[in-house]
Amino acid sequence: MISHDDTIKQQSQPTETFRRLMLPHKSEIALGFQSLTKHTNTTKNFQRKLYTTNKPEVDRNQENANASSSFEKNIADELLKHEVCDWQFFMQKDQEIIQQMNTSDEFPQEPTYKAKTQESTNRSSQLQKGNERYLYFQRMKQGNKLLPNLSTQDFLSSVRHTTKLNEFAKVYKQQPQNLYLSLNLSQPQRVPKTFGLIQNTQQLVSVNTNRCLRSREDCRAFSHAMQTQQSKSITSLQMNHNIFDPMQLRDMLLSFPTTLKDIELIDCKLHYQHMDVLMSYINKNQISKINLEKNNIRDQGCKIIVKYLMNNYTLQHLNLNNNQITESSCLGLSNLLKQTQRLLELYLGYNHLNSSAGNTIWKAMYKNTSIKILDLSHNNIASLDCATSIAKAIARPYNELLHVDLSYNKFTYLQAQLITDALIKNETIYGFHFEGNQTELVVNQNGFLMNNIQQKKVQNDKLTLLYKQPQFFKLLDQPKKDVFIAAKQYEEFVMPYSRQRKIRSTKLNVQKVNQMGKLDTCWICEGWQEIKFEWTAYKSGSLYNEPIFIHLDFEDYRPLLMTHLNNEFFLVKMCPPNQNIHYFFTNPILGVQQPALDQPIIQLETPLPSIPFLYNDEILVDGSTIECLNVLKTFNKQQLFDKYMPLVQCKPREPLAKFDFSPYLNIKKHCWSVENSIFRNFQPDTPQLIDQCYEFDFQNSKVTRLVKENEVAEVKESLRELYRNLFHVYKYHASGSLNTPIPCIMIQDFIDFLVQTSLMDGMKTNDIDISFTSTSAAKDVAFPQAFEKGIVRCQLLEIMIRLCNDKYIRSGVYTTMVDSINAVKQQSQEYFARFDQSQQWRKTRLWNQKCDILLNDRLAMLKSLYKYCCKLSKKQQTKFDYVSFSDFKDFISECKLICDDLSERESYTVYLQSMVTQKDELFSSKHYQMNFQEFIEACSRLAEKLSIIRGDKPMDLDDRRVKDLHTKLDGFLLYVYLNIGNQMKTVLSPNDPDIKGLDKCMINDFKSLKQKLEDSFTDGDEPPYDPKVELPHLSSQITNLLGNTIGGKKQTLRQQIKQLKKEEQKFALINFVQYFKSLQQINKDQDD
């Protein structure tokens, strides 16, 4: 530690010290300049110009021995040793070096250079040992720069150089003193305190001196430091938990910079004498925020504050929490609230205010037009008059209040009801706290003050009453099961008294997760986030008509009506932060309950039981069991306010939007639609979806590498039309190879495609093999769902480009790729016309009311069959069960369905055609993992192809084929049940609810009771029906082929023509729609 006496001794050192400081050896100054300029040639020229040797070495030694001891003579001797050609230039250069070091961000490293001889090496080491000038430069930079990036440790390490730094500053007139010298010199007898002023930052803005000012010396040193240049930019100052008297406070305030705006003086033992000094300073400066929490201001100090604030136009934030203020100060506070137009935040919590004081303050608040945040928590202001004044102030039009805290004031139920009714009329208070008054009263997530227990009781009574009335809408797929739910205990609705919360300038105050019904919900303090929930018609699901409701978990899945605009439904809602929000959507008119398909979905391990929904708070609808939900992760990043202006469009206590159900309440039966059927969760093949697949496949293909850059745009558009045809052909040709790990087209299937389209003509087999191998064995693209010996859907575009290049461009038929693609489209047009679109068959044959009724009636059979098929082969563990093609093939084999009407390849075609179109078939495996909805379609396609019809009379195959699909499904499912029903019961658990309902849904006669009575002339008292009696008839339709079960039957000419036209149109999986259209045309011709 360097004391003040050491400084005096240092200044009185002999001339040698001054010589080392002012006139170093020429080699040393040259070395300093060389390190700064980094130009060797410039340094050498400067040395030759500045110094010239005037006397020999012997003369110089003799003169040193005879030199005088006086200061002036030593200076003269130094001047005689070296001839300075340009003294003014030398001093100017020295000043420039110092200035450069003070303004530079990084100080250059000490010079290092290689010595070529032993003599130069020794000379260099001597220079570095004796050269203190470089160290002075470095110390000077640390001591004089406005604010370098120094930590507290760096500052304390430079304390021992205080004397040299101070001496150097005086010589070069570096004034005023900098912050570091001030901290060193003002605390000479101890390790200097930094008072939070030494920060690793470019500019001092916020300073924390908490618990640092404990003595008069501390206050004096802090005052000196605050007068330095570096402290002129401070805007926020925290001086909490310190001790100083009014005079010390006055001295410190006088040293504060004019830029200061925010002062904190928490727990500083301040009293009324301090207030006179402090408020006088505040009125003379631009202070906008003062925090005086937890002091001893009392009423006398509060009156002084109010007196000064009457003439203050800058202070916006005043915190007087926990200062033992009573009703004696309320008259002055009331006058201040009536007059002020600048005060925005007032905190009076944890004081001794009574009901009279509360009434006076709230009457003044009715006339106030500036206060945004008011805290009166932890007082005793409760009274009927005060509650009336609060209600009047809150319900006032054009209110400015944003946050109000009335917690822990002992309000009664009657008083709270007045506040509750007034709060409903207010839409500006985003945060309202009322905990600690009555245990059952809480502020819910929408900002309403409510009685939790009473609200639950009213809701239960309403549900009980509505269950006695007929329900007009239905969401349940199955009858509702009574699920025992334990009643909530009284303590779960009661709020604990242990929480304390304060808000500062609407900054978010992190707190524990708010449990339902236990804490007041405050959007500001908890940092709630504004989220926009959306439902896009035809993309999120099959719903496209109003109304669509969203159900959010933190709202207890209460239905909230979404706004409809341009085929989009949306709802903007404030949501709790840092949580996973679970939700789903419903349409009670159509009876649809489902998650959005285009948003993240989670599968629940334990399904939620059926929940009763109250639409418009008056229409009761029982919801289905919830197995999957949408999920959205919220964060705590959104800023709710900017200078007290809300940045969110949600308003607190907004009325619940209602939908007019009156046109639908008198309709007991509504028209059938896909949206309320069993097919509602199946994503249809739309042109938009196919275009999305094309964009994805084109982006991940190598087409751009094979096509000239100037042709890419035209080729992309030309390929788009070809891709739509290839899209429907791909699954048929991909089913040609049954042993591949994923669906893909092998070389023999590709050659078959070329032969069928006549594109094989004129091509060499070797060229085809090379093109196919180059496309399929692409090692530079690592796609998880690709097979090196086959091409997947994404590679169709590339193989077609290679085909065009080999067939047309290389042979010289065409010169551009666009013309070649057009030639391929024209030549393949006839072949593409043979294929139906999968979606056409769904619309014309499957998606209708009769099939929907039958499938819902056989739902237990379908679910049991699906679960059984999932267990037929061993698969890697996944989150969800699925049916692989191996499972599907085993299922068909066990049921003995392979025959002349259904080959093994056709079973694979059925499997692929039933899969929902996936945009991504490269990174996702969903296109060959069959879910339940896809399994239903696969069974329907099998039923269509096999055409198994229930009855007691044989039918011709062509007659069976023209039957409606629902009759074919009925026969197919019964045939499967009779073949593997016992095996399904063995594999699946007997406690499975679907297994329990299996026999019930399948043991039904194909004849109605009326038909039985007419056939047997009995009274209908017959034994239970055994479906096994139908097995021989159903099996005969599998074994008897081509309609040969009918004996000789005389046919007319018209019937022969009909049979001939039927044979022209083959009944195949790829052209079901064309087959039925041809039948319609034949019938139309016959009618004509």
Alpha helices in 71-186 (DSSP H): 71-81, 87-103, 118-130, 133-144, 152-157, 162-171, 179-185
Surface-to-core class of residue 252, CB atoms within 10 Å of its CB (0-12 exposed, 13-18 middle, 19+ buried): buried
pLDDT for 464: 80
Percent of the chain past pLDDT 90, that is, above it, reads 31
789 and 934 assigned to the same domain: no
415-424: pLDDT as tens digits: 999 999 999 9
Q: Are 886 and 872 in contact (CB under 8 A)?
A: yes
How many residues can be counted in the chain? Answer: 1088
Question: Is the backbone of residue 880 left (phi > 0), alpha (psi -120 to 50) or beta?
Answer: beta
pLDDT for 831: 87
pTM over 0.85: no
Q: Which residue has the higher pLDDT, 169 or 861?
A: 861
1006-1053: pLDDT as tens digits: 555 445 545 544 444 456 677 888 888 888 888 644 433 333 333 343
Q: What is the 3-state secondary structure (H, E, C) of 112-134?
A: CCCCCCHHHHHHHHHHHHHCCHH
Q: How far is the C-alpha of 888 from the C-alpha of 1001, rounded, in Å?
A: 23
Q: How far is the C-alpha of 382 from the C-alpha of 362, rounded, in Å?
A: 12
Contacts of 669 (CB under 8 A, 6+ apart): none
Q: How far is the C-alpha of 186 from the C-alpha of 184, rounded, in Å?
A: 6
In a domain, 876, yes or no: yes
* Residue entry with tokens 């039966």: 669
pLDDT for 162: 62
Pairing of strands 317-319, 289-291: parallel
Which residues on adjacent β-strands are paired with residue 533?
Answer: 571
1030 and 1061 assigned to the same domain: no
Q: Which residue has the higher pLDDT, 553 or 1060?
A: 553
In a domain, 295, yes or no: no
SS3 category, 404: strand
Q: How far is the C-alpha of 635 from the C-alpha of 575, rounded, in Å?
A: 10
Surface-to-core class of residue 767, CB atoms within 10 Å of its CB (0-12 exposed, 13-18 middle, 19+ buried): middle
Q: Name the strand (E) or helix (H) holding 693.
A: helix 687-699
Q: Residue 969's domain spans which residues?
A: 839-1047
967 and 1076 assigned to the same domain: no
Q: How far is the C-alpha of 94 from the C-alpha of 84, rounded, in Å?
A: 14
750 and 656 assigned to the same domain: no
714 and 640 assigned to the same domain: no
Tokens of 75: 């200076």
Q: Name the strand (E) or helix (H) holding 442.
A: strand 441-443
Which residues on adjacent β-strands are paired with residue 571?
Answer: 533
Q: What is the 3-state secondary structure (H, E, C) of 832-857?
A: HCCCCCHHHHHHHHHCCHHHHHHHHH
14 and 39 assigned to the same domain: yes
The alpha carbon dihedral of 781, 787, 790, 793 has a sign of negative
Q: Which residue has the higher pLDDT, 57 or 398?
A: 398
Q: How far is the C-alpha of 134 from the C-alpha of 1049, rounded, in Å?
A: 120
Tokens of 694: 């094309």
In a domain, 334, yes or no: no
Q: What is the 3-state secondary structure (H, E, C) of 220-286?
A: HHHHHHHCCHHHHHCCEEECCCCCCCHHHHHHHHHHCCCCCCEEECCCCCCCHHHHHHHHHHHHHCC
Contacts of 1064 (CB under 8 A, 6+ apart): 1078
Banded model confidence at residue 474, pLDDT cuts 50, 70, 90 = low
pLDDT for 57: 46
710-743: pLDDT as tens digits: 888 888 888 888 888 888 888 888 888 888 888 8
828 and 846 assigned to the same domain: no
Tokens of 355: 């009901």
Contacts of 438 (CB under 8 A, 6+ apart): 411, 412, 413, 416
In a domain, 329, yes or no: no
| Highest mean pLDDT pick, 338-352, 473-487, 676-690, 876-890 | 338-352
Q: How far is the C-alpha of 152 from the C-alpha of 196, rounded, in Å?
A: 9
Mean pLDDT is lowest, of 32-36, 355-359, 415-419, for 32-36
Is the pLDDT at 843 greater than 50? The verdict is yes
Is omega for the bond preceding 547 within 30 degrees of 0, making it cis? yes
Which residues on adjacent β-strands are paired with residue 345?
Answer: 317, 373
Q: Are 476 and 592 in contact (CB under 8 A)?
A: no
Mean pLDDT is lowest, of 152-156, 202-206, 786-790, for 152-156
Q: How far is the C-alpha of 1022 from the C-alpha of 324, rounded, in Å?
A: 93
Percent of the chain past pLDDT 70, that is, above it, reads 72
Half-sphere exposure at residue 907, Cβ-oriented, CA atoms within 13 angstroms: 20
Domain boundary pick from 803, 834, 865: 834
Banded model confidence at residue 553, pLDDT cuts 50, 70, 90 = very high
In a domain, 596, yes or no: yes
* Burial readout 306-338 (b: 16 or more C-beta within 10 A, e: otherwise): bebbeebeebbbbbbbbbebbbebbebbbebbe
Domain boundary pick from 672, 705, 728: 672
| Highest mean pLDDT pick, 23-27, 105-109, 841-845 | 841-845
In a domain, 341, yes or no: no
Mean pLDDT is lowest, of 67-76, 191-200, 363-372, 804-813, for 67-76
Q: Name the strand (E) or helix (H) holding 912.
A: helix 904-913
Mean pLDDT is lowest, of 307-311, 685-689, 801-805, 1079-1083, for 1079-1083
745 and 622 assigned to the same domain: no
pLDDT for 310: 94
Q: Are 284 and 311 in contact (CB under 8 A)?
A: no
Mean pLDDT is lowest, of 493-502, 884-893, 1062-1071, for 493-502
297-344: pLDDT as tens digits: 999 999 999 999 999 999 999 999 999 999 999 999 999 999 999 999
pLDDT for 781: 54
641 and 774 assigned to the same domain: no
Is the pLDDT at 864 greater than 80? The verdict is yes
Measuring CA to CA, how many Å separate 497 from each of 298, 490, 501?
Answer: 27, 15, 12
921-956: pLDDT as tens digits: 888 888 888 999 999 999 999 999 888 998 878 888
CATH number at residue 620: 2.60.40.10
pLDDT for 407: 94
1042 and 1053 assigned to the same domain: no
Mean pLDDT of 492-518: 37
Banded model confidence at residue 465, pLDDT cuts 50, 70, 90 = confident
| Tally of domains in the chain | 5
Q: How far is the C-alpha of 180 from the C-alpha of 139, rounded, in Å?
A: 11
Mean pLDDT of 489-501: 36
Is the pLDDT at 109 greater than 90? The verdict is no
Q: Are 308 and 336 in contact (CB under 8 A)?
A: no
* Residue entry with tokens 């719903």: 543
Closest CA to 32 of 89, 119, 92, 93: 93
Mean pLDDT of 673-693: 87
Banded model confidence at residue 171, pLDDT cuts 50, 70, 90 = low
Q: Are 192 and 185 in contact (CB under 8 A)?
A: no
Q: Are 805 and 798 in contact (CB under 8 A)?
A: no
pLDDT for 167: 62
Is the pLDDT at 242 greater than 80? The verdict is yes
In a domain, 502, yes or no: no
One-character DSSP codes across 587-652: ETTTTEEE--TTS-EEEEEEEEPP-EEEETTTEEEEPPPEEEEEEEE--S----EETTEE-----T
Q: How far is the C-alpha of 358 from the C-alpha of 433, rounded, in Å?
A: 16
Across the chain, what does the average pLDDT equal?
Answer: 77
Mean pLDDT of 145-149: 41
847 and 939 assigned to the same domain: yes
Contacts of 312 (CB under 8 A, 6+ apart): 282, 283, 342
pLDDT for 734: 87
Surface-to-core class of residue 677, CB atoms within 10 Å of its CB (0-12 exposed, 13-18 middle, 19+ buried): buried
Q: How far is the C-alpha of 569 from the C-alpha of 536, rounded, in Å?
A: 6
Closest CA to 987 of 871, 863, 889: 871
Closest CA to 622 of 735, 516, 503, 477: 477
Mean pLDDT of 287-294: 96
130-144: pLDDT as tens digits: 444 445 445 444 444
Surface-to-core class of residue 706, CB atoms within 10 Å of its CB (0-12 exposed, 13-18 middle, 19+ buried): middle
Q: How far is the C-alpha of 300 from the C-alpha of 473, rounded, in Å?
A: 69
In a domain, 782, yes or no: yes
819 and 859 assigned to the same domain: no
Is the pLDDT at 386 greater than 50? The verdict is yes
Domain boundary pick from 90, 121, 139: 139
